[in-house]
Amino acid sequence: MTRPILRTAFCDRVGVEYPVVLAGMGPVAGTGAPVATAELAAAVSNAGGLGVIGGVAYPPDLLRAEIRKLRALTDKPFGVDLLLSPNFLIPRGSSPPASMPRAGELPKAHVEAIARIAKALDIELVPAPPETTERRDWLEPGQSWAGAQIEALLEERVPVFASGLGTPRIFAEALRANGITILSLVGTVRAARQVAADGADYVVAQGTEAGGHTGKIGTLALVQQVIEAVAPTPVVAAGGIASGRALAGMLALGADAAWCGTAFLVAEEANQPALQTRRILDASAEDTIVTRLYSGKTMRNISNPLIEAWEREGLQALPMGTQALLIRDLQYSIERAGRHELLMNAAGQASGLLTKRRPAAEILAEMVAEASHLLDGLGERVRVG
Ligand SMILES: Cc1cc2nc3c(=O)[nH]c(=O)nc-3n(C[C@H](O)[C@H](O)[C@H](O)COP(=O)(O)O)c2cc1C
């Protein structure tokens, strides 16, 4: 069978066959490694899309190792995704802002709520062992976590950098000087204008349907408004795109490519515990919930009794970084008790579409073939003139 043709300017700019990007999905609960590892990214790149590693939790040495592993698995273009939120930009040697308390300073009401939740869920709350190496110890004075990661990306000359949160402003000049294409995720029109002004080559407009961190505006409403707001900067659509129909729809709307996470969560190459994959395959579109429980920012997950208990407490979540500290002992205790059904299971509303685990190449090929077929046959269904 001949390969379908589905090309946009994104394909020419980035050097890929198809305008489909694997979302750079970060760490799986209970492990330090991302969902989107070198294996998954290579599978997508080799199939003609753009594979992106979810690099946020990797210190530079591991990030370099993952990039080199990916290069050994593919000679095609690829990307690396990082988060540029304030907690990853604090320079070593300066103290975190007062809005980010440390473990001993966590608000009493929050600590008590976590104890109550653990009791209600029959989890024995035990302290997590201290981290073996202080995550920031190896940083140079003045260097931030994200800054050190970006240096690794520059040295490795990765083809594409994607910023999942925040703005690429402080790194844009260096990235561009090294020929690295910058994608920047946003969930609002205001943020879209900001990142376009700050040097993003592509604005990734991510609607609320998305798995993981997400905003409040639906993909359909957001993508068209972002396209108008940032023109002539091109836009990539994200959130709920897990079929050829959705891909064709977004290209027709004016997006240059689609950034897909949930669709690839059920790929055989995705680094995800079997239980999480099972729950996504079993889920209907209504089974996800947006919560600040896991990171302090709004994140879409397959719901579970822990999220429901947290939401019932009605507390305001702590800032990103601090919220993770708040639930650290609870997460550890959950893992220790083998209650994996309570762990983070980030996934989008498109989960309702997914029914089987299969190779990433097959997922991509089906999306592309369907989109190409639909767009090609549109004239038969829709008469224009
Ligand atoms: C398990 C999971 C982990 C994610 N981790 C990250 C991340 O580390 N960085 C990031 O920019 N986006 C992350 N996201 C969001 C995705 O990049 C993407 O925007 C989203 O999955 C797109 O919507 P969809 O899931 O409906 O395809 C994650 C999403 C999921 C489902």
Closest Cα partner for 54 from 214, 290, 261, 240?
261
pLDDT > 90: percent of the chain: 84
Instruction: State in Å: Cα 114 to ligand 1 middle.
Output: 26
Query: CA 270, CA 327: separation in Å to the nearest integer?
Result: 26
Spacing, Cα 138 to ligand 1 middle (Å)? 28
Confidence label for 223 from pLDDT (cuts 50, 70 and 90): very high
Where does ligand 1 bind, in terms of residues with CB under 6 Å?
A: 23-26, 35, 54, 56, 81, 83, 164, 185, 206, 209-212, 238-241, 259-263, 265, 346-348, 350
Residue 1, Cβ neighbours under 10 Å: how many?
5
Using the predicted structure, report yes or no on whether residue 99 has a pLDDT greater than 60. no
Minimum-distance ligand 1 atom for the alpha carbon of 204: 19
Domains within the chain, CATH numbers bracketed: 9-89+144-272+359-374 (3.20.20.70)
Kindly report the pTM of this predicted structure.
0.94
Say which residues have a Cβ less than 8 Å from residue 5's Cβ, sequence separation at least 6.
Answer: 372
Instruction: Please identify, by atom number, the ligand 1 atom nearest to the C-alpha of residue 349.
Output: 26
Nearest to 153 by CA among 128, 123, 175: 175
Q: Report phi then psi at 276, rounded to 5.
A: -65, -40
* Residue to substitute in 20, 21, 25 for testing ligand 1 pocket (most ligand atoms within 8 angstroms of CB): 25
Cα 310 to ligand 1 centroid, rounded to whole Å:
22
Q: How is residue 199 annotated by DSSP?
A: T
User: pLDDT tens digits, residue range 117-137?
Assistant: 999 999 999 999 876 545 556
262 Cα: distance to centroid of ligand 1 (angstroms): 7
In the reported structure, the alpha carbon of residue 210 is separated from the centroid of ligand 1 by a whole-number distance in angstroms of 7
Residue 126 phi/psi, 5° resolution?
A: -120, 145
CB 261 within 8 A of CB 211: yes
CB 4 within 8 A of CB 374: no
Q: Take atom 17 of ligand 1 and give the residue whose Cα is closest.
A: 23
Q: Tell how far the Cα of 378 is from the centroid of ligand 1, in angstroms.
A: 31
Position 129 scores a pLDDT of: 86
Write the residue with the smallest CA distance to atom 6 of ligand 1. Answer: 25
In the predicted structure, residue 265 carries a pLDDT above the cut 70: yes
The pLDDT of residue 137 is 66
Atom index in ligand 1 nearest the CA of residue 300 equals 31
For residues 323-338, average pLDDT: 94
Lowest mean pLDDT across 185-194, 314-323, 358-367: 314-323
pLDDT digits 0-9 by tens, 134-160: 555 677 778 889 999 999 999 999 999
Write down the pLDDT at residue 320: 83
Mutation choice for ligand 1 from 202, 213, 226, 343, CB with most ligand atoms inside 8 A: 213
327 three-class SS? coil
User: pLDDT at residue 166 above 60?
Assistant: yes
Residue 288's DSSP bridge partners are 302
Q: What is the pLDDT of residue 105?
A: 82
In the reported structure, the alpha carbon of residue 367 is separated from the centroid of ligand 1 by a whole-number distance in angstroms of: 18
Neighbours of 13 (CB within 10 A): 16
